[in-house]
Amino acid sequence: MVYAEIDQMLTGPRQFDNSAFCVLPFYAREFPRGTPCCYLAADYDLNQVKQHMLLGQRPAACKKCWDLEDAGIKSNRQLNNETLDFYFDRDLATVFDLCQQGKNKILHYKIATSNTCNSLCITCSSGSSSAWGQLERRNGTTPATNWSLELDTVSHDIDFANAQSFGFLGGEPLLSATNFKILEQLITHANTDCFINFQTNGSVELTQYQKDILEHFTNINMSFSIDGVGAVFEYLRYPLKWDKLLANIDYCRSHGMIVSACYTVSNMNLLYHEETCRWFDQNQIRYFVNLVYDPPHFRPGALPEHIKAQMPELQQQPHTQQDDVDYAVFREKIALQDQWKGIRMQDYLPKLHQLLG
């Protein structure tokens, strides 16, 4: 083993050309679903997924990542390969060898501990946002039941001493007490080098207790959900405010945290894609692109053919009858959302509103 490490120091990382391999099926677990990846198709067979990857074959269950990669967009697979490669302190070829030998174990955890949220994001619903639940109830619709996970529910499935990566999702994860109880467990187990990632909507100012907990950790990434700049952000993630987001980004950067973004692309913001990417580049923020698949009426392709012709990102994609069907639903849903929220698209997205007619 020592000689192998010396060889690697002298020659650099080994070349690895398996473009179907992903670390998540071998090293990750997500709660509360119990799946290694939230992008897997509902009917996935984990053993089959692993076997295909080890043979260099693309599993059909991972279609969402293949679609992104075929479009020239970095996928969740690629992002996690890079992240876990770095924090395992092993090159990806070595990680692959361990998986072939069955020496892999769960080291990466992603947890959604509640649907508590203060945002009415346009593609969301009450299952993931308690704010949406309140809005639905006020308008005569029965919302999904609010839910939360306590530490005792998940702690027996977590190796706190050896975990190398934790991702906290929502709802809004900075509003969940359970997430910080998990961090307290990592501190107790002297595992403060563990990589910590929060997927936050950027609206929450940290409490002093939260700041004190986070100061123990050396590798924190705050991944802000940013789908547009200024008014575009405020419409898609109503009622959040752009200035508050910028202030929280500044705080995280000034306190040694990594800042990145999760950029959800839908038919609502594709017209502003160039502007959004330019803002990320100007502010030196790395971003991960998440294409909307569900609800289908918010898919990027759910637009009329004449509008797609004005969007370079969609010009190479064939137009289908289903696109027109989903677009009709989109118009109904947007009108209803505007009515419920008491806002108007044209006040936030005038260019898109004019184009839609």
Kindly list the domain boundaries of the chain, sorted by start residue: 2-356
313 CB-side CA count, 13 A: 18
How many DSSP H helices and E strands does the chain contain?
17, 7
Instruction: Identify the pLDDT of residue 350.
Output: 96
Alpha helices (runs of H) in 215-318, residue ranges in sequence order: 231-236, 242-254, 273-282, 305-308
CA gap 182, 180 in Å, rounded: 5
Are 261 and 226 a contacting pair, CB within 8 Å?
A: yes
Q: Determine the angle formed by the axes of helices 321-341 and 130-138, rounding to 10 degrees.
A: 80
Instruction: Identify the pLDDT of residue 3.
Output: 36
CA gap 183, 220 in Å, rounded: 11
DSSP secondary structure string for all residues of 94-133: HHHHHHHTT-----EEEEE-B---S---TT--TTT-HHHH
Cis bond before residue 301 (omega within 30° of 0): no
Instruction: Identify the pLDDT of residue 86.
Output: 66
The DSSP output letter for 265 is E
Instruction: Identify the pLDDT of residue 87.
Output: 67
Element (H, E) at 294: none
Specify the residue for token string 């907990």. Answer: 213
Q: 2-356 — its CATH code?
A: 3.20.20
Instruction: Identify the pLDDT of residue 146.
Output: 95
Instruction: Identify the pLDDT of residue 223.
Output: 97
Amino acid at residue number 52: H
Q: What is the pTM of this model?
A: 0.87
Nearest CA to 222 among 230, 214, 234, 212?
214
pLDDT in tens, the chain (357 residues): 333 333 433 334 567 889 999 999 999 999 988 899 988 988 899 999 999 999 999 999 999 999 989 988 889 899 888 877 666 777 889 999 999 999 999 999 999 999 999 999 999 999 999 999 999 999 999 999 999 999 999 899 999 999 999 999 989 999 999 999 999 999 999 999 999 999 999 999 999 999 999 999 999 999 999 999 999 999 999 999 999 999 999 999 999 999 999 999 999 999 999 999 999 999 999 998 988 989 999 999 999 998 998 888 887 889 999 999 999 999 999 999 999 999 999 999 999 999 998
